[in-house]
Amino acid sequence: LMQLFRPLDLLGWVYRSIRQGLIDMEAMFELVDTRAEIVDAPDAPSLQVGRGLVAFEDVHFAYEPERPILNGVSFAIPPGTTLAVVGPSGAGKSTLARLLYRFYDPTGGDIRIDGQDISKVTQGSLRAAIGIVPQDTVLFNDTIGYNIGYGREAASESEIRGAARGAAIDRFIAALPQGYESMVGERGLKLSGGEKQRVAIARTLLKDPPILILDEATSALDSRTEEAIQATLDNVAENRTTIIIAHRLSTIVNADRIVVLDAGRVAESGTHAELLRAGGLYAELWARQAAERALEEAAE
């Protein structure tokens, strides 16, 4: 893949990606294969995924030693269920996703998938088990078909079409003059935020991972697009162990469980209804966002 990029393209892309906060972790990893300190033990076994139980056990983490970000976070996601992580900006939500994908290792505690410490298994086997739908998807200067199939080299044309259908972007593509051969990316067709997200969903469907990380877009899509994308994401998450990093609350009402992160700790957890009844931080965040939504709608 590296050879497909002219060095300057790659540099520009890496620079933009970093500036935007490492938005597509998965692509980032594969291209600039990366952090020297994360290495496999010489005899590291492959991750054996069974039902896909994900557990954080007293996880501590700091990007810089003097500034702890996570201070003992524990939760478990039962196989096939959806856990949403919410909390104030900067609470450490996206950091949890980066640790699960092993962008970094925890400084204390551990993260387990079906009982196996993820820092002890090969990175390749770990990342093969996890799909990420990032906040903002990086598209390559290539065809839309390539962009969907990217990540699974052996994907056939009919598999790519199937994934596009699953992500509800097939009709959009069919309406393009050159269909799946249409060029996208910086030098091709510019896709909207929602369309790019659908490309990411299609990629994930092709990968078919047992574990899924959804890093919800911070920038709001219009509410109709958001609802449509939500329905597609619900389909993708079905029967997969899913962690949603939620920057807004409106989309996670139906999560099996919600963890509220505050200052690097789990402040409370429960279902949407339970947390509203509890009248704590979640209820407060919910009331605030509801008020903001009402204001936005009044302005529309």
Contacting residues toward ligand ATP, per CB under 6 A: 63-64, 69, 87, 89-95, 247
Give me the least distance between CB of 90 and ligand ATP, in Å please: 4
Residue type, 146: Y
Give me the least distance between CB of 59 and ligand ATP, in Å please: 12
Q: Which is nearer to ligand ATP, 99 or 121 (CB)?
A: 99
Give me the least distance between CB of 178 and ligand ATP, in Å please: 36
Name the residue among 203, 197, 208, 201 with its Cα closest to residue 149: 203
Q: How many angstroms separate the most distant Cα atoms in the chain? A: 60
Q: Which is nearer to ligand ATP, 24 or 114 (CB)?
A: 24
At residue 29, φ and ψ (nearest 5 deg) are: -60, -45
Task: Give burial (CB, 10 Å; 0-12/13-18/19+) of 36.
Answer: exposed
Give me the least distance between CB of 17 and ligand ATP, in Å please: 13
Q: Which is nearer to ligand ATP, 94 or 197 (CB)?
A: 94
- What strand order describes the sheet that includes 54-64? 67-77, 54-64, 108-113, 116-117
> Distance between CA atoms of 85 and 55, rounded to whole angstroms?
14
Give me the least distance between CB of 261 and ligand ATP, in Å please: 7
Q: Which is nearer to ligand ATP, 64 or 153 (CB)?
A: 64
**Residue 143 β-bridge partners:** 183
Q: Which is nearer to ligand ATP, 107 or 235 (CB)?
A: 107
